[in-house]
Amino acid sequence: MYWGRDWDYFPKAAPRPKPKPGKRRKKFGATWWGRKWVDILSDYEYDQRMSRGRSYARADMVKKFEIGENSISAKVKGSSGDYSVTITFDKFKKKDWKNISNKLKSVPLLMGKLLNNEMPEEIGDATGYCFIPDSFEAECSCPDYANPCKHIAAVFYTVADEIDHDPMIIFKLRGMEKDKLLRMLELSDDITETKEDAKKEKRKVKKKKKKKKKKKGNKLPVQRKKKAIKRKRKTKKSGKPKK
């Protein structure tokens, strides 16, 4: 009997996990920012791993994922256990964030939206910076040689859901906490307000000084009259003739 190996044999892929109730036909990237995020994987769209990654995301197989400054870490439940996934992105430097905040200050409409926890779609055109990463580095502890694998893809699609709810997460993935950026914008707003208040105070002080001068000028002739009346009274008492 021949016990040779069949080189045309490939093991069957593990069955896809069943989606959670209500997620069978779920689409990822429901908002403008969510769609932009999903487009990061557009170069791999025809890879079957992306489809399987969506199945994993619909089945809530991504566990304990954490979004850090310019990174994502997660545990993904696989067919043979849990796999560790890390994804990193290029982050903006401090000088980049200063330029971004300065440019946002010059556009009050965008600044107002951000202070109201809205992520304006025009922020990229206004600042000249691309907030959606155009590249990434990823690692997964699974045995699949491909990158991105289905587990990495599942993390991307799961984060797309988070971005749909709070698109300002993108700031953190670029190296800046949302609250820190908002504080920078609020601080600049407070500085301009204090400068304007200081100017108003100076104007008030000047007006008060002018009023005081006018009052003093009006009082001078009255004081002279009072002195003249006193002199007259003294001359009457002394009996001296009036001059």
pLDDT single digits (tens) 88-137: 999 999 999 999 999 998 888 888 888 888 899 999 999 999 999 988 99
Within this chain, do residues 176 and 211 fall inside the same structural domain, yes or no? Answer: no
Q: Of the segments 9-23, 54-68, 177-191, 226-240, which one has the largest average pLDDT value?
A: 54-68
pLDDT at residue 214, as a whole number: 63
120 domain-assigned = yes
7 domain-assigned = no
Within this chain, do residues 129 and 227 fall inside the same structural domain, yes or no? Answer: no
Q: Residue type at 33?
A: W
63 domain-assigned = yes
pLDDT at residue 126, as a whole number: 92
Total domains, the chain: 2
137 domain-assigned = yes
Digit-coded pLDDT (tens) for 56-86: 999 999 988 899 989 999 999 988 889 999 9
Within this chain, do residues 167 and 141 fall inside the same structural domain, yes or no? Answer: yes
DSSP collapsed to 3 states, the chain: CCCCCCCCCCCCCCCCCCCCCCCCCCCCCCCHHHHHHHHHHHHHCCCHHHHHHHHHHHCCCEEEEEEECCEEEEEEEECCEEEEEEEECCCCCHHHHHHHHHHHHCCHHHHHHHHCCCCCCCHHHHHCCCCCCCCCEEEECCCCCCCCCHHHHHHHHHHHHHHHHCCCHHHHHCCCCHHHHHHHHHHHHHHHHHHHHHHHHHHHHHHHHHHHHHHHHHHHHHHHHHHHHHHHHHHHHHCCCCC
* pLDDT higher than 90, residue 182: no
Within this chain, do residues 44 and 143 fall inside the same structural domain, yes or no? Answer: yes
pLDDT at residue 124, as a whole number: 93
What percentage of the chain exceeds 70 in pLDDT? 72
Sorted by sequence, the CB contacts under 8 Å of residue 139 that are 6+ apart come out as 84, 85, 86, 147
* pLDDT higher than 90, residue 156: yes
What confidence tier does 47 reach under pLDDT thresholds 50, 70, 90? confident
Within this chain, do residues 132 and 215 fall inside the same structural domain, yes or no? Answer: no
Within this chain, do residues 229 and 123 fall inside the same structural domain, yes or no? Answer: no
What confidence tier does 2 reach under pLDDT thresholds 50, 70, 90? very low
156 domain-assigned = yes
Within this chain, do residues 106 and 38 fall inside the same structural domain, yes or no? Answer: yes
pTM of the model: 0.69
Burial of residue 153, with CB atoms counted within 10 A of its CB: 0-12 exposed, 13-18 middle, 19 or more buried? buried
Within this chain, do residues 43 and 137 fall inside the same structural domain, yes or no? Answer: yes
pLDDT at residue 223, as a whole number: 57
pLDDT at residue 19, as a whole number: 72
- C-alpha closest to that of 97 among 127, 72, 117, 126: 127
Residue that terminates a domain, selected from 184, 217, 233: 184
Residue that terminates a domain, selected from 155, 184, 213: 184
pLDDT at residue 224, as a whole number: 56
179 domain-assigned = yes
* pLDDT higher than 80, residue 163: yes
Within this chain, do residues 231 and 126 fall inside the same structural domain, yes or no? Answer: no
Within this chain, do residues 124 and 71 fall inside the same structural domain, yes or no? Answer: yes
190 domain-assigned = no
Distance CA 133, CA 107 (A): 24
* Domain interval for residue 162: 32-184
Within this chain, do residues 111 and 171 fall inside the same structural domain, yes or no? Answer: yes
Q: Is-contact 127 111, C-beta < 8 A?
A: no
pLDDT at residue 10, as a whole number: 43
Within this chain, do residues 61 and 171 fall inside the same structural domain, yes or no? Answer: yes
Long-range Cβ contacts of 12-15 (<8 Å, 24+ apart): 13/52, 14/78, 14/79
Digit-coded pLDDT (tens) for 209-226: 676 666 655 554 555 555
62 domain-assigned = yes
Give Cα 200 to chain centroid, integer Å: 32
Q: Of the segments 6-15, 76-85, 186-195, which one has the largest average pLDDT value?
A: 76-85
